[in-house]
Amino acid sequence: MKFSPFMSVPPSATMRMNTLAQEKRARGERVFNLSAGEPMLPTPEPVAAAARQAIAEHKTLYPPAAGIPELRQAASDWMNRAFGCGFSTAETLITCGGKFGVFAALQALLAPGDEVLIPAPYWVSYPAMVHLFGGVPSVVPAAESAGWKITGTDLEKKYSPKSRALILNNGTNPTGVVYRRDELKNILQFAADRDLTVLSDEVYCGLTYEGECVSAASFPEYRDRVVIIQSCSKHFAMTGWRVGVVFGPAGIIKILTMLQSQSTTGTASISQWAAVTAFQLASQITPTIRAAMRQRRDTLIGELNRVFQTNLTAPAAGLYCFVPIKILGRKFSGLTSEEFCERALTDGNVAIVPGSAFGAEGFARLSFAAEEKELIGAVGALGRWAL
Ligand code: PLP
């Protein structure tokens, strides 16, 4: 069988570690799993009740390709209220998770050979998706010493006339970076001066513990080039429901709707009805999830600092600590992050994800989305194995 030349993309490293951990567990071994990026909490009861009601009322036929009108309305109301934007329902598309939103937007934007600026450390799927559409990831390294933030000056070094888009992940996976309003404006102005589309992935904005997560769509002067990726997954502990949202100019939303109508036909109608309730109750639900995740973040950082006798600072947002391997495994210097993480799982029974998967060698990503006893157990097991 002959395949498209763009299919040579490895499967996601986070998924791989998660699968390996689950396989080990299935063999009866005790594995501490800090690889998954999902708030380990039950979906809030009113959201689950809305889904049950949708089933009872037989709201189970194909939804419109762009999403049910009630959800487009609830999602845009939420975005406008929470982040000071001005999206209409025609500028709002419901997708199968934020992930399909990124996927479809890149498919809509890229022609083979187009370059996409991607700050690193990056979410593992960005370069992979760019490859899938024949695009070329143009990785812009951020330095740990600069707080893992990039500026227009960093972007300029990787910009070329083939650059077509910039993927900005505000509330960054894996570093937890949150850009200030002035920093964001500087980046958006860079994009405007070079006619780049900005794909702003803001799925972690609700899980901001320090400072404020500013949406790239809250600057009216840049709205025509900004596409926002949002999701119910992290804001409402709804990862398995698969509801994401794309906000952007009506022109791109129309194209993405066409793509969706020719591919997924949109996400499940029952999930969409549940999501209506989630967006309507967001001001009650998200703070509860944020408080739980903040506590888990503090537990993980506290345990790491105690066991490894170090002084890591807590990330401002998200679900992850991005930790230098030299702190975790002094006796493993010389290993790549992938080798280190494979051994941490095989010999130490702790699943964590290598920094190389995020474009930053020498680090590992530890998720604090798991329950506290899992976090404490994981750091203890890492310490027993590594120290
Ligand atoms: N963007 C980032 C940075 C993520 O880390 C994730 C998931 O982990 C997503 C988007 C997609 O999330 P979902 O498809 O569950 O909405």
**Which tens digits make up the pLDDT trace of 61-90?**
999 999 999 999 999 999 999 999 999 999
> Maximum distance among all alpha carbons in the chain?
60
Owner of token pair 């591919």: 263
pLDDT over threshold 90, residue 21: no
Q: How far is the CA of 1 from the centre of ligand 1 (A)?
A: 32
Q: How far is the CA of 203 from the centre of ligand 1 (A)?
A: 6
Index of the ligand 1 atom closest to the CA of residue 231: 16
Q: How far is the CA of 216 from the centre of ligand 1 (A)?
A: 17
Q: Which is nearest to 376 in space by CA: 287, 290, 289, 295?
A: 295
- Mean pLDDT check: name the lowest of 11-15, 109-113, 131-135: 11-15
pLDDT tens digits, one per residue of 207-259: 999 999 999 999 999 999 999 999 999 999 999 999 999 999 999 999 999 99
One-letter identity of residue 348: G
Q: How far is the CA of 99 from the centre of ligand 1 (A)?
A: 5
Q: How far is the CA of 320 from the centre of ligand 1 (A)?
A: 13
pLDDT over threshold 90, residue 15: no
Q: What is the mean pLDDT of the chain?
A: 95
Owner of token pair 């490859």: 131
Q: Give the mutation target among 17, 96, 99, 271 for probing the ligand 1 site: most ligand atoms within 8 A of CB.
A: 99
pLDDT over threshold 80, residue 16: no
pLDDT over threshold 80, residue 12: no
SS3 for 74?
helix
Index of the ligand 1 atom closest to the CA of residue 201: 1
pLDDT tens digits, one per residue of 312-362: 999 999 999 999 999 998 788 789 999 999 999 999 999 999 999 999 999
How confident is the model at residue 153, as a pLDDT?
A: 95
Index of the ligand 1 atom closest to the CA of residue 169: 3
How confident is the model at residue 6, as a pLDDT?
A: 83
Neighbouring C-beta atoms of residue 254, cutoff 10 Å: 13
Owner of token pair 């707080």: 147
- The helix or strand, by DSSP H or E, that contains position 126, with its residue range, turns out to be helix 125-132
Spatial separation of the C-alpha atoms in residues 242 and 268, rounded to whole Å: 8
How confident is the model at residue 7, as a pLDDT?
A: 84
Does the predicted TM-score (pTM) go above 0.75?
yes
The binding-site residues of ligand 1, defined as CB within 6 angstroms of any ligand atom, are 37, 97-99, 123, 169, 173, 201, 203, 231, 233, 239, 244
How confident is the model at residue 282, as a pLDDT?
A: 98
How confident is the model at residue 17, as a pLDDT?
A: 79
Per-residue pLDDT band for 18 (boundaries 50, 70, 90) equals confident
How confident is the model at residue 90, as a pLDDT?
A: 98
Spatial separation of the C-alpha atoms in residues 178 and 48, rounded to whole Å: 31
pLDDT over threshold 90, residue 117: yes
One-letter identity of residue 140: V
Spatial separation of the C-alpha atoms in residues 210 and 203, rounded to whole Å: 16
pLDDT over threshold 80, residue 145: yes
Owner of token pair 């986070």: 14
Q: How far is the CA of 208 from the centre of ligand 1 (A)?
A: 15
Report how far apart the first and last C-alpha atoms of the chain are (Å, whole number).
49
